[in-house]
A and B are shown apart, each in its own frame.
Chain A
Amino acid sequence: MAASDEVNLLESRMVVPLNTWVLISNFKLSYNLLRHPDGTFNRHLAEFLDRKVTSNANPVDGVFSFDKVIDRMPSLLFRIYRPSFGCETRVTMIDLERPVESEYVPVIVFFHGGSFAHSSVNSAIYDKLCRRLVSTCKAVVVSVNYRRAPEYRYPCAYDDGWTALKWVNTRTWLRSKADSKVHVYLVGDSSGGNIAHNVALRAVEAGIEVSGNILLNPMFSGEERTDSEKRLDGKYFVTIRDRDWYWRAFLPEGENRDHPACNPFGPKGISLHGVIFPRSLVVVAGLDLTRDWQLAYVKGLEKAGQNVKLLHLEQATIGFYLLPNNEHFYTVMDEINYFINPDQQ
């Protein structure tokens, strides 16, 4: 079983506000119901429990959204968020893809989290987060409804992310006025952060320029058990066991966690020396048990001579960016804004 030290179940209560604790514990409980030990997933119950919101072409707090279906079988859908700049009270079909008007418009391609298995673009938590990104960064956000595990394993999520990047990159209406180019940022949390990295790899290979990567608590791992995993197992909403389950569900059958998708700087990783990889902002929550893997990722980028900024929030748990009720949330939003709009501070 496990180590001998006993921990107080309520310890996680100490480090987050009560409503955050309730939110994340509720996810933890729901997700426990959904994962079967044999690797199957109760998708019907997952969709039943997920709280969803529709897109909304009526501006709310300066942001409106609409959904776009890109492919049909299997379907790939994006939710696109745009700032409404206050003066529009009615957004019609024509306005949805009206060309952006600013000299510089950051376009965020967003990959939601959920450990590759949970959530969708219309999950309320992610709809809200994307709206905040629009408001904070004055960006257009394209949230990608990538195919999820265990029904769709590696590399489906990456394929969908890649399709999204190519699509965004070829939209004339997303070109900044200053240079007629689309300025793309790949942003994601948890599995979304992992997807952002892997899509960036493809971009590099194909010569598509990505202005930057932003990874929030990105999901990485490896066969080794790191110190943070051992020390924090079960303490702050997450267990090694559930992490393992999700990797088993996502990675190709028979592969282990040293697969390069999971462990990009591990024994099977590829070198990024001399590669023009996008500059990165990596946000690490100190109380996330996979912290050491995320720090190793940052180290790996540094060693390869890449431009990476680490924001290590030692007292933060997973999901801190879902509710604007803690200082970490505001710190991160500011950092993201600064990363995307360095000239406008």
Chain B
Amino acid sequence: MKRDHGDTSKGSSSSSTSSSTTSAAGSACSNLWDTKDPSPSAGMDELLAVLGYKVRSSDMADVALKLELLEMAMYNNSGATDISFATLPHGTSLDDDAGLSYLSHLSSDAVHYNPSDLSSWLQSMLSELNPTPDFSAASSSQQQPPPPPPAQPPLRQPFPDYSACDLSVIPGAAATPPNKRLKASMNTAAASPPTASSSSALTAVSPPRPVVLVDSQETGVRLVHTLMACAEAVQQENLKLADALVKHVSLLAASQPGAMRKVATYFAEALARRIYRIYPREFSLNSSSYNILQMHFYESCPYLKFAHFTANQAILEAFATVPRVHVIDFGLKEGMQWPALMQALALRPGGPPAFRLTGIGPPQPDNTDTLQQVGWKLAQLADTIGVEFDFRGFVANSLADLEPSMLNISSSEVETVAVNSVFELHKLLAMPGAIEKVLGSIRAMRPKIFTMVEQEANHNSPVFLDRFNEALHYYSSLFDSLAGCGAGASEDTVMSEVYLGRQICNIVACEGTERVERHESLIHWRSRMESAGFNPVHLGSNAFKQASMLLALFAGEDGYRVEENNGSLMLGWHTRPLIATSAWQLGSSNGGP
């Protein structure tokens, strides 16, 4: 049951199953191919890796020591110097006062980051309890973060209109992980899962295919059967059969209740377009209607709110103490993300920074300057809340057309830059070289932080049937989650479905540069980002908690879940993550700041 290609990996259980464990399965490939930078996933304890914990075998004793020290520190009131390993009164519990106050602090006030990196997590807690030198055995590959400053009490404010609830500004040092690079698993091919004909010797890491089904009386099995059969016929270019099947699907779908009907209808329509070669070219031009659809999507369910909230949280932490900030938004749309950030900045202890926003958007067919309109509205808000504000809009067909010099970014002594991208990067995968160019541009902008939100899905397989299968599962879950949000047939919900339907159409019916909805999961983005010289900035338990609380308020349905994954946060439907927010900073090894 082990990998067939003889390799130097540690052998045991493969674990390409989960997005939260990257090292075990990837280590084989990394060891063989990556000679320049010995993969940090080499030497990981594979048994723990499978369970979500990254601990190097050589660090195991050190991690054990930290665990013991923490236990001691919680029992011992008088500080690190009195720690005695040897004895502990029998049955001592942590309910005595001293232990309690440490526990309470760690539980309620401290911010936790990336529990998969056990060593760092434990060290951060030790630093919280005893701000004294690192007790760990000298390990040359580790650099410990400075002890985080005590968390400031969160600022509680009444909710600003529809956006986020309270966004506390937390000093930035805590967010920065130690300066070691934990590479994601190295995929030998960018996002292609093995094809049907491949043997069981998987040489590339196969991304997991998470599935969440909703049980209902009429499961629509025939409907799904027919859809799949149609997709297969398309794959095999048996268009006559595909045509017959797609008509059958529409018939079946008409009598199918609930989310499945809607999903099937969109997939059927997309299949029909593919069969008849009626490609929906007009979508990419009609961006203002797309913006409106996205606004409905924003209103009807929590995905975009989550995206904005979590990205803003990371941006706020990066902007904690600086006087002038500049946010470059790769997809301004209606600017829904920024009122909440501006309000949080207005409430920053010590007063708000000067806030500059550069919004990028596609050209409008009627040449209206929608970017300026959005900028104007935000300027009015800034005025009311007392934040110095400057706006500039840039029209670009593609982010790859941007030159950083156009954006008039001031040097880092003058302004602190954040670059933000919500559901924009995947489009660049449609053009060779585009993503590399844009990542290079981001580097050139010298941001303190780069926040990105992407769909947590693999819809970019070159194999049509794989793409179809993945998308069917993904959008089924997404539609299921919409079904519960507010009233079933509200305008927002209906428009949201149209919005998502466009994505489905693009994934299924388009090819080449037209196919822009090239979603890839975070595991692949991590690999790309790290290759491009970025290091992760972790989102912590404070952001997690606030996002969870936000969900409880805004999500009508019971199934939304926030998950932490190696420093990033994901929002999902039940057990299926659907979108992922991650944050990045420039790595120093490639000539960063």
Q: How far is the CB of B2 from chain A (nearest CB, A)?
A: 9
Cβ contacts B19-32/A at 8 Å (1 or 0 each): 11100000000000
Residues of A within 8 A of B209 (CB): 56-58
Q: Is the beta-carbon distance between B558 and A72 smaller than 8 angstroms? A: yes
Does B92 interact with chain A (Cβ within 8 Å)?
A: yes
Pick from B17, B89, B224, B557: contact of A60, CB below 8 A: B17
* B475-500 interface with A by 8 A CB criterion: 480, 484
Instruction: Tell me the minimal C-beta distance from B568 to chain A in angstroms.
Output: 12
A127 to B18 alpha-carbon distance, docked (Å): 10
Question: How far, in whole Å, are A29 and B67 apart by their CA atoms in the complex?
Answer: 8
Given A69-B574, A124-B21, A19 and B559 contact (CB-CB distance below 8 Å): no
Chain A CB within 8 A of B180 CB? no
Report yes or no: B48 in contact with A19, Cβ–Cβ below 8 A: yes
**Once bound together, how far apart are the Cα atoms of A22 and B107, in whole Å?**
20
Tell me the A1-37 residues at the B interface (CB within 8 Å): 1-10, 13, 18-19, 21-23, 25-26, 29-30, 32-34, 36-37
Closest beta carbon of chain A to B35's beta carbon, Å: 28
Q: Which B residue sits closest to A52, measured CB to CB?
A: B563
Give residues 418-451 of B contacting A (CB, 8 Å): none
Q: A241-B93, A241-B95 are in contact. Are A67 and B212 (CB under 8 A)?
A: yes
Q: In the complex, what residues of B have CB within 8 A of residue A7's CB?
A: 87-88, 90
Nearest-Cβ distance from residue B548 to partner chain A, whole angstroms? 5
Report the bound CA distance from A234 to B74 in whole Å: 15
CB distance from A109 to the nearest CB of B (A): 16
Q: Interface stretch among A201-209, A247-255, A321-329, A335-343?
A: A321-329
A136 at the interface (CB under 8 A from B): no
Provided the pairs A2-B90, A90-B196 are in contact, do residues A32 and B45 lie with their beta carbons within 8 angstroms? no
Are A3 and B86 touching (Cβ within 8 A)? no
Measured CA separation A47–B541 after assembly (Å): 10
How far apart sit A47 and B91, CA to CA, in the bound complex (Å)? 28
| A51 lies within 8 A of chain B by Cβ | yes
Interface residues of B in 513-572 (CB under 8 A from A): 541, 544-545, 548-549, 557-559, 561-564
Question: Does A121 sit within 8 A of B, measured CB to CB?
Answer: yes
> Given the interface contacts A13-B64, A57-B209, does A44 sit within 8 Å of B89 by beta carbon?
no
| Residues of A close to B13: CB separation below 8 A | 61, 324
CB distance from A134 to the nearest CB of B (A): 13
Type the 1/0 row for A183-210, where 1 means its CB is closer than 8 Å to any CB of B. 0000000000000000000000000000
Interface-centre pick from A5, A6, A60, A66 (highest chain B CB count, 10 A) = A60
Does chain B have a CB within 8 A of A310? no
Does A45 lie at the interface of the complex (its beta carbon under 8 Å from any beta carbon of B)? yes
Whether, in the assembled complex, A122 has its beta carbon less than 8 Å from a beta carbon of chain B, the answer is yes
Give the nearest-CB partner of A71 in chain B.
B215
A327 to B86 Cα, complex, angstroms? 29
Contacts of A240 in B (CB 8 A): 91
Contact B53–A89 (Cβ < 8 Å): no
Q: Which of A92-100, A150-158, A211-219, A272-280 contacts B (4 or more CB under 8 A)?
A: A92-100
Give the size category of A's interface with B: 35 or more
B91 near A239: Cβ-Cβ < 8 Å: yes
Instruction: Out of A1, A34, A77, name the residue touching B574 (CB < 8 Å).
Output: A77
Partner of A23, one of B53, B93, B214, B465: B53
Whether, in the assembled complex, A39 has its beta carbon less than 8 Å from a beta carbon of chain B, the answer is no
Query: Taking the nearest CB of chain B, how far is it from the CB of A52, in angstroms?
Result: 6
The answer to whether A42 touches B60 (Cβ under 8 A) is no
Interface size, chain B (Cβ < 8 Å): 93
Do A58 and B206 have beta carbons less than 8 Å apart? yes
In the bound complex, CA of A1 to CA of B564 (Å): 39
A311 within 8 A of B: no
CB distance from B261 to the nearest CB of A (A): 15
* Distance of A124 Cα from B18 Cα, bound (Å): 9
Query: Contact string, B64-89, partner A, CB cutoff 8 A, digits 1/0?
Result: 10011011101000000000011111
Q: Are B92 and A234 in contact (CB under 8 A)?
A: yes
- Interface residue stretch chosen among B108-116, B167-175, B315-323, B341-349: B108-116
- Whether A25 and B112, one on each chain, are in contact in the complex, defined by CB atoms closer than 8 angstroms, is no
Residues of A within 8 A of B48 (CB): 19, 22-23
Residue of A nearest to B108 (CB): A42
- Answer whether residue A62 sits at the interface, using C-beta atoms and an 8 A cutoff: yes
| A311-B228 Cα distance, complex, nearest whole Å | 48
Q: Are A93 and B93 in contact (CB under 8 A)?
A: no
- With A54-B577, A90-B196, A96-B211 already in contact, the answer to whether A8 and B89 are too (CB < 8 A) is no
Check B213 against A1 for contact (C-beta < 8 Å): no
Which residues from 130 to 155 on chain A have a C-beta closer than 8 Å to any C-beta of chain B? none
In contact, A5 and B90 (Cβ under 8 angstroms): yes
Please indicate the chain A residues that have their CB under 8 angstroms from the CB of B353 in the complex.
none
- Show 23 A/B contacts (Cβ-Cβ < 8 Å), sorted by A: A7-B88, A8-B88, A9-B68, A13-B64, A19-B45, A22-B67, A23-B48, A30-B115, A44-B548, A44-B549, A47-B561, A48-B112, A48-B115, A53-B21, A62-B1, A69-B214, A92-B469, A94-B221, A121-B575, A233-B90, A234-B90, A323-B47, A325-B47
Residues of A within 8 A of B (CB): 1-10, 13, 18-19, 21-23, 25-26, 29-30, 32-34, 36-37, 42, 44-45, 47-49, 51-58, 60-62, 66-70, 72-75, 77, 79, 86, 89-90, 92-94, 96-97, 120-122, 124-125, 127-128, 233-234, 239-241, 322-325
Q: A8-B86, A241-B94 are in contact. List 19 more A-B contacts (CB 8 A).
A: A6-B87, A25-B68, A29-B67, A42-B108, A44-B548, A48-B545, A53-B17, A53-B52, A55-B208, A58-B206, A69-B559, A72-B214, A89-B194, A94-B224, A124-B18, A124-B21, A124-B52, A234-B93, A325-B47
